[in-house]
Chain A
Amino acid sequence: GNSVTQMEGPVTLSEEAFLTINCTYTATGYPSLFWYVQYPGEGLQLLLKATKADDKGSNKGFEATYRKETTSFHLEKGSVQVSDSAVYFCALSDRGGGGSNYKLTFGKGTLLTVNP
């Protein structure tokens, strides 16, 4: 079956620090990969995605590259802000084809706190 492992937090950084949140996956097929963000008291927002090997997803200064050889999709940001404080979830889903169920498989989330 599919599974996602991401670094456990919490992660605490100062404003303008560099962020990396590691994510690795196990999948039976060739999945699509996602990072979702959950701000306090809110639902999940899609942050970025990648659908094939070597694709780089990017949004709001965050980036992640689909690495098939290492089965990884690490999230990075060069300079974090206080407003980036949230829980970040790495996720995957089947891309399609016979037997795909498309459900998202999530990692356990990483709480990021950015201090001024």
Chain B
Amino acid sequence: EVQLVESGGGLVKPGGSLRLSCAASGFTFGGYNMNWVRQAPGKGLEWVSSISSSSSSIYYADSVRGRFTISRDNAKNSLYLQMNSLGVEDTAVYYCARETGISYWGQGTLVTVSS
């Protein structure tokens, strides 16, 4: 069974940093592109970042480029999102998702940016 489990969310002050993790199991993690997608409270889905299976290609939404860094460790079956210079507009549930045409989602982790 495919499982994606996010962790690392929480309350952070504006300007602060947070590192999200996603632990994958039930499939060959190193064979798939991976993504972070977020959803602000009461809003729709917003793509944040993607990384190819070998980390050779990385993409970011304009809204996070220069502040967020996606990475992965295929040996540990893990995906990461380092988030710096957080603003209130980054408040959202962050989902880890498999494949460019998303096939599986994690349960999400809530990031709240507030003073």
Is chain B found bound to chain A in the same assembly?
Answer: no
A interface residue numbers (CB < 8 A to B)? none
